[in-house]
Structure 1
């Protein structure tokens, strides 16, 4: 193609694109077209391709998107779902408009809620249905194969072996069983009146010999050491006595000093060459050898005062005091020839003098301590002055504190009693040390969760037995030890208990010195014994016996209350036989054997316990079990009252095997035998009610068996229903004197009597009189006279039902009238 043809085609295309419009023609060069294309591309990419695609899609379907956008912007949900504008009280139109819109909104909201609940309910029903199908499929998949599917596979039976004399299941572990044996032996010695062992020492020995746990043995060792004090009386408050008696402080210091001497001996035995031990085996030589071991390096003597021949003086004095030997400390100080005033004061303290010269020397030494030794570079010298003068409790002497024992011994050494306090100088008291350990430092400081034995020892050594035991009782592993520690201290009258047994496990009284607490031993033992009282009832009763000295707020013995709760919750024949024994063959009111017979005292016995349990069961409407307990207790009057109440409910029913009526029949047989011996113990009114109900039981037995003649004889003998209309008033008067239990059965008696009369009427009317119920008497009477007599009896029954001053059931009256009408 040449240029001429190309030009002609371009002109032709130009002519085809020409439009008959008045718009001016725009001519662009290639660069201008490229620039316009780039601007259009930038504008499209800036607005986003989604909007462009939306415009193209909706435009292809004939939708005008700009106009649709304007319509959507005009829509507003404010009128339907936003809060209504408040209107004035006088704007009636606005008020009515708001009420109308409120009603519409409430209908919409209620409909929405109901739809949501319906959908939720349908959803969960479908989910549960699918789960059920899935579980069914899984269970079907777990069904084992049948033997015929695998004929070659033979099933092998696993042989089982059972002991010849299997022991019953016990919820007590090995440690608890060992503790329980000690408790049983202790209670037996008390019941027999022999001398009782010290439970703290017995348990400490048990922990040392039988428990494979050195930490538990150490806890018992601490408690044993702290309990070696003068025996207290139950009339003295243990808390106040412990706070005022210096023996507890002395015992704690002696225990820590004894342990430190053991530690020094171990260090010396490991370094016999350096120790150069010799001489008389006493604290003086022990401390000298120990100091020779720990101060063998020259740099260890840096900063120490009064060093002679490589032996520092003040460590010798300090470790002598740390070992509890004031004499050794005085001897070392005397040999050095230094500090004569301190030597004189220590000599007076050793001799126990309290003259005025001692106070003067203390004042001078305290002044010297505050002026010079407060910034002394020898920590041992500063500690010795602080211990001897019992001052500066805020100085913790960190250079010497290598363990909790050191810290506790130092605090115990600088204690001053309330009567010996110098109020011009800050000093530490026993209660202040207890608050420091329990409140300021607490469990977090001692890492009590991981080091429970250590925290227990710190509390016990500061005389806080109750808080220490409560801390141990929180964990299941240490709870048996805590319970028996509390029991052992309580038997020594050293455990502070609250005034009320309903207090929390750890509490305090308003007049108690802070931070002392009281431990509710009753709650602790009951919580512990409840875990095994059903499987190990005998052991549980042994623990409850330890609560015999406690009284509840209503004056009831706590031991009886605990055993009563046990029997109320487990009142079966096996438990009753275990606790009370078996009935004596010669005397139905005497029971031999039983666990509780071992705890017989002048205040209570098993018969009073049975009466107490029976009263509680009766209050809980467990009348059948209460009857058993009342019979054991010998309370015939209460037994008869409950039997009458139960008989009135079931006496009219036919006897069925295993029913309450059959069980009551067995009870009445035992009562009849017992009443033959002790009828005078029962009130006359109760006796009459029981006699009538017993005869009514025979009446209904004859009635259900079809023995109408014998049944009618029982009713005529008791004069409960009239034979004719003239006897109605007499029967009504007699009925008013009856107990409510008899009146409750009256509708059933009237119905049964009317049925008997009606059956006799039908029999007489359909026979010649030979088959009469009344034998020879009816044979001699005319048939019409007999029928007339039966109508009179039926009339008397309906009259009595209408005459009794009690509300009869409507069905009873209807039935009586219906049968009477059928006789006419």
Structure 2
């Protein structure tokens, strides 16, 4: 109550605005915002990247507005004093920038409430509860040791480590923490005021979540009664139920649609909105605001309708907010303002963003679409789901021998379903460039385009130049169409008229410092430049000829150009043109004149020309220089020049973009599309893909599938023989063409690792696209990736298939890949055998019908376990059980006869020892006779001694254990003769003398065979014979 009185009543409390930083916003020229993490009462938290670190490490940034409640100051003071604690995040730095206060600290993982909502039944395991509790108590203890009390202990303020484990728990949010006062060396409690503050802030947090729906419903109430062209009076509509809110939203949509149709018919008509727009209240008038306060006060007493669940409330909020935004966007401004905004939007859509070197900063959009929220994973999931469907359909067509599905086209269709302009622009350019390259270049025998040939470099420059010029023509037409009254475009068609109209809009008055004459009130050098920029060389030549003798040298240069390619047919007159420009270089102030000379000759003046301040203009002039260079180098006899000629082959241009400028240089404008454009249109497809892989999950998904589509088209530079999972993602080597090579195997494997445990069959589809790659041991990467995927699965039968007890083959996912099945399973068997995974190896050998190797593996396993008793691991039982199953369905197939005989013999020995260990001596004695390896009397001794040398080594090594067990059974049989019943024993002996004779025959056999027996073995047999009394 004390706190409520101090801060006034809840309805009149000041609601502080929260900072809203876009993705890629840079704090203090160092900390780049990567994603939004969450909001508090007075500030927001973001995941930021340290651009000055080599590994681009992630940190947490807590931001608040300067004019908001100063909660960050207290938290900074506390973190400075507890910086050496294990359970509190470390403070890195803090400061002010523009209108925000910020604090950078180490980044933790999810909080306990988020984790609890994700686990089944919202219940932690007992062991995890104990571990979390211990860490939480230690965190609170560390804070108390510094004489601070937190004041807001709850699940949201405890976070685990970034890896998601419970090995450490961090205490967060010290905004309302208080310090104990030292008084006479005692800690004095500050009173109940702090307890009330903590409780009060918890109530505010709950109330703000409930107020969001009430706020939107009240705005919809006022807006629906105000958007009425005929009646400006507000209607009092009560939105007490969700159904009424939905009906009102539909009614509001119909009214706005009708009003929009009326305005399109008559641009002069306007709609009067009787809405009071306030920065804090929003679309609320005075009556609506008082109604909202009354409703808020009522909601403090009466709980909100229990029948309205969160999902339906979310739907209504989205519908009402969309209607509010639609009406505000369409009718809040004047018609001219809307047209001007549309023009700006059109320029951005046509790729008109600035390159490094200019001070103007383009508007930055989030690379992951809308601002991240609690459901930001939905967009990523939709992206991955759309791409997965495309890959699955594409692989299915390949497996069925069809080639009708265009993988790249389907990917573009999937991306267009997303609301992300970066992704759509990226894929449209991929589609365009790939189509142009495939239509102009032929694939080699290996199925790939030779990108190192001089013909490719020359034609690639021409293709990109033609594309950039056509894009600029469309841009000029859009600008002129939006400003027809200002453009004053005449009825005469042609490039000069379009350029003049464009210049009338771009520069109503001639720019200062222009040289020579004016044509249609515009500088002639500007007209010539924009004609060249649009690809109309003949129009530029005609304009230059109209200027008279002043431009005679330029006209002569135009005349020596090829009318088809616009390239010099020879370089004989280049010296004269260079000499003329060298004379005027120090005196001319016309930037467009310098730009025209950069287009005509090979020089290095373009870096100082302000006309090339946009990324597409910069690329256009660079590629023009590249085309001239490649044309010059392709001549049989290269011309010599007295003046400096700046050659710029395609490799040099790529090195300029990748090394001299680099990523940080182009990202000064915070738009990843700028750097991607420079890489893509300079022919560095692999570097562009690698760069986009680091720009958020959505663009990473796009980049992976761009790489797959280019590989399918034969346009990607990669190494089929040496790419592997552990290699670097991008291999860059100066002086090589292409400059970069992409490790497609690592790219795909790292991407599928996100979902291979949940959808192994889908991951297998991706791996099939890597079937032509091989590791250093010439193993198929499809087989390598399949083996890696198999090791991570609990149920391997789903992927491999299995042989049931009846011998019927049950199919698995691998059986769909008929051409790769045998080779892949054989590789898995070989790898599993080498790692000691005998069950998996045995299953694979049986699936590929390689029974010889399967039996050899079983023989080795049986030999290692048959003579030992069962242990806790159950290995002996498992081996014998599996061996008996295979023996039951064994046929004379691929296994060798000797191998089958040895397997049957050693399996019989194993079954004998199983019965022997269970002390079923009668059955064991009969089975020992079937084994037929040990003499049962003196007559058989010589035969078995001579046949022992022909036995396989593994059988010979089992003879000592067989003889020892036989002697033990004789001793047990001897004990039966001491019984009163005097019954006959299981060995068939009639007396003890018969048993002794059998024992003597065994000892004599052991001494005669050529086998190195264990030390003291004969003595042990003699000692046991003495027990036959």
| TM-score in same-fold range (> 0.5) | yes
2:938–2:1001 contact (8 Å) kept in structure 1: yes
CA deviations over 1:542-588 (Å, ceiling 9, x no partner):
11111122233333322222223333x2465x322x223454797x2
Q: Which residue of 631, 638, 645 corresponds with 2:853? A: 638
CA deviations over 1:438-473 (Å, ceiling 9, x no partner):
221112211279433221110110111122222233
Unaligned runs of 5+ in 2: 1-129, 141-308, 311-376
SS at match of 1:320: helix
**How do 1:176-325 residues align onto structure 2 when only pairs under 5 Å count?**
176-207=384-415, 209-227=416-434, 228-229=436-437, 230=440, 231-235=442-446, 238-241=450-453, 244-279=456-491, 283-297=495-509, 300-325=511-536
TM superposition shift of 1:289: 0.8
1: CA distance, partners of 2:513 / 2:979: 133
In structure 2, relative to structure 1, the CA distance for the partners of 1:556 and 1:301 (3 Å cut) is same
**How do 1:463-612 residues align onto structure 2 when only pairs under 5 Å count?**
463-475=683-695, 477=697, 478-498=699-719, 499-502=721-724, 504-507=728-731, 512-513=736-737, 516-567=739-790, 569-570=791-792, 572=794, 574-576=795-797, 578-581=798-801, 583=803, 588=807, 591-601=809-819, 604=820, 606-612=821-827
2: CA distance, partners of 1:617 / 1:305: 81
Say yes or no: does 1:823 pair with 2:1006.
Answer: no
TM superposition shift of 1:430: 2.1
Q: Which residue of 703, 707, 727 corresponds with 2:920? A: 707
**How do 1:24-423 residues align onto structure 2 when only pairs under 5 Å count?**
135=134, 173-207=381-415, 209-227=416-434, 228-229=436-437, 230=440, 231-235=442-446, 238-241=450-453, 244-279=456-491, 283-297=495-509, 300-338=511-549, 339-349=551-561, 351-352=563-564, 359-372=571-584, 375-388=587-600, 390-415=601-626, 416-417=629-630, 418-419=633-634, 422-423=639-640
2: CA distance, partners of 1:241 / 1:356: 21
TM superposition shift of 1:494: 1.2
The farther-off stretch of 678-687 and 320-329 is: 678-687
2:757–2:793 contact (8 Å) kept in structure 1: no
Unaligned runs of 5+ in 1: 1-130, 142-159, 162-168
TM superposition shift of 1:422: 4.6
2:731–2:742 contact (8 Å) kept in structure 1: yes
TM superposition shift of 1:318: 0.6
2:595–2:606 contact (8 Å) kept in structure 1: no
The farther-off stretch of 287-296 and 762-771 is: 762-771
TM superposition shift of 1:787: 0.6
Higher RCO, 1 or 2 (CA under 8 Å, sep at least 6)?
A: 1
Q: Which residue of 929, 932, 947 corresponds with 1:734? A: 947
In structure 2, relative to structure 1, the CA distance for the partners of 1:739 and 1:382 (3 Å cut) is same
1:470–1:506 contact (8 Å) kept in structure 2: yes
1: CA distance, partners of 2:566 / 2:709: 38
In structure 2, relative to structure 1, the CA distance for the partners of 1:767 and 1:607 (3 Å cut) is farther
In structure 2, relative to structure 1, the CA distance for the partners of 1:680 and 1:379 (3 Å cut) is closer
Report the equivalent of 1:755: 968
2:801–2:809 contact (8 Å) kept in structure 1: yes
In structure 2, relative to structure 1, the CA distance for the partners of 1:811 and 1:472 (3 Å cut) is farther
CA deviations over 1:203-248 (Å, ceiling 9, x no partner):
33432x1222111222222222222223423536633137743221
In structure 2, relative to structure 1, the CA distance for the partners of 1:335 and 1:394 (3 Å cut) is closer
Q: Which residue of 654, 658, 664 corresponds with 1:434? A: 654
TM superposition shift of 1:359: 4.3
Report the equivalent of 2:319: none
TM superposition shift of 1:758: 0.6
1:222–1:461 contact (8 Å) kept in structure 2: no
SS at match of 1:184: helix
How many residue pairs were aligned?
Answer: 646
CA deviations over 1:178-219 (Å, ceiling 9, x no partner):
212111222222222323444334333432x12221112222
TM superposition shift of 1:316: 0.9
The farther-off stretch of 481-490 and 374-383 is: 374-383
The farther-off stretch of 222-231 and 446-455 is: 446-455
Q: Which residue of 964, 977, 986 corresponds with 1:764? A: 977
Report the equivalent of 2:55: none
Report the equivalent of 2:831: 616
CA deviations over 1:492-514 (Å, ceiling 9, x no partner):
1111123522553322579824x
2: CA distance, partners of 1:397 / 1:443: 21
SS at match of 1:682: coil
SS at match of 2:879: helix
TM-score between the two structures when normalised by the length of structure 2:
0.58
TM superposition shift of 1:136: 11
SS at match of 1:518: strand
1:341–1:361 contact (8 Å) kept in structure 2: no
1: CA distance, partners of 2:567 / 2:460: 25
1: CA distance, partners of 2:974 / 2:1004: 19
1: CA distance, partners of 2:789 / 2:882: 24
TM superposition shift of 1:726: 5.4
TM superposition shift of 1:734: 3.1
The farther-off stretch of 629-638 and 470-479 is: 470-479
**Alpha carbon RMSD of aligned pairs, Å?**
3.6
In structure 2, relative to structure 1, the CA distance for the partners of 1:680 and 1:545 (3 Å cut) is closer
2: CA distance, partners of 1:698 / 1:544: 44
2: CA distance, partners of 1:170 / 1:693: 59
1:271–1:293 contact (8 Å) kept in structure 2: yes
1:275–1:293 contact (8 Å) kept in structure 2: yes
SS at match of 1:462: coil
TM superposition shift of 1:403: 1.4
SS at match of 1:396: helix
CA deviations over 1:302-324 (Å, ceiling 9, x no partner):
43321245221111111111122
1: CA distance, partners of 2:433 / 2:596: 26
1:648–1:693 contact (8 Å) kept in structure 2: yes
CA deviations over 1:570-616 (Å, ceiling 9, x no partner):
465x322x223454797x2x635322222212xx4x24432221121
1: CA distance, partners of 2:454 / 2:831: 41
2: CA distance, partners of 1:311 / 1:654: 102
In structure 2, relative to structure 1, the CA distance for the partners of 1:510 and 1:547 (3 Å cut) is same
1:760–1:773 contact (8 Å) kept in structure 2: yes
In structure 2, relative to structure 1, the CA distance for the partners of 1:356 and 1:542 (3 Å cut) is closer
1: CA distance, partners of 2:711 / 2:569: 44
1: CA distance, partners of 2:451 / 2:902: 59
TM superposition shift of 1:353: 8.6
In structure 2, relative to structure 1, the CA distance for the partners of 1:620 and 1:794 (3 Å cut) is same
TM-score between the two structures when normalised by the length of structure 1:
0.71
1: CA distance, partners of 2:378 / 2:902: 47
Q: Which residue of 644, 662, 678 corresponds with 1:458? A: 678
Q: Which residue of 924, 937, 949 corresponds with 1:724? A: 937
